[in-house]
Amino acid sequence: MPAGSVSVLKMSLSTPHPSTSPSPDPLPESANPEDRPSLLRLPLEIRHLIYSNLTPLDPVSYPFPQSPITSISHRSPPRSLLLTNHQLSAEVRSYYYGVAVFRFLGMAGFSVISDDISPGSVSAVRNMRKVELMILWNLTKERLRADQSTWPYFMSRWLEDIVSFLRKEATELKVLIVSVRDVGVGGKWKKKKALLEALESLRGRVKFLVGEIVVVGGEEQEVRGRLGEYLKELNGDNPHVSHLPHLPQPQPPLSSPYNMAYRPVVESRSARKSAPQGCR
């Protein structure tokens, strides 16, 4: 991690929580306009257009070492902009964390939550507001007959560990997007629903949304509908569960369960190479 990037990440935000819309509330402005950078003298709408161009939808794979975060939907703000002025830095970071979706992909064979998580990753987790959990299911007939304790980690414990980690560290979290890749054929919804029970501990703390659903065997609509009903229950007073439009994501490594089950791809590293260092 480049020198100084951790200290930039650790700068705290003083803005209130945003709603589920991407535009955060503006920060209090200085009484004397001449004391503010010229960028802050522009109307808020213009500033947001500038920030949008500086943080485009350009997924970055594995942005931190030693981290459960597998990708981020938007490119991070330029570090030079974050170092310009404290008020400007806070506003840019508030905008960025209001639009960026942090993806956690359940493909690990062991727990990725440890004391060795990089400081930059922990700081990002404490500021992020939108998270996507990509859950992998593979309920084969043999697995359904076996005890759940014999199942692979990514199916038996990953979600529980990640949710526990988010409860403890993600103090700004407002939106949780639940995506599913189901590579098994068959399997009753009751069994699949049981794998989601860990989400109950976030009831009342976040708004749950249905994300991307990829299912083999023509069961996508059923899984989407069942998942939507379940998340609606978790949302409680929310009138309905919104369906998030598809966000382009970087391809996972060749060894991931998703690629092994669907098609071989070559991971593109161009996004990571071109990503600014400001919010790493």
Which tens digits make up the pLDDT trace of 222-250? 889 999 999 999 998 754 434 444 444 44
What would the pLDDT profile of 37-91 be if each residue is shown by its tens digit? 889 999 999 999 999 999 999 999 999 988 999 999 999 999 999 998 899 999 9
Residue 238: what pLDDT? 53
Binned at pLDDT 50, 70 and 90, residue 172 comes out as very high
pLDDT at 161 over 70: yes
What would the pLDDT profile of 179-218 be if each residue is shown by its tens digit? 999 877 666 788 888 889 999 999 999 999 999 998 877 7
Residue 32: what pLDDT? 60
Cα dihedral sign, 51-52-53-59: positive
Binned at pLDDT 50, 70 and 90, residue 268 comes out as very low
Whether the CB-CB separation of 173 and 208 falls below 8 Å is answered with no
- Average confidence score pLDDT of the chain: 76
Residue 91: what pLDDT? 95
Average pLDDT over residues 85-102: 94
Q: In this structure, how many other beta carbons lie within 10 angstroms of the beta carbon of residue 276?
A: 18
Q: Which residues pair with 209 in a beta bridge?
A: 177
Whether the CB-CB separation of 216 and 182 falls below 8 Å is answered with yes
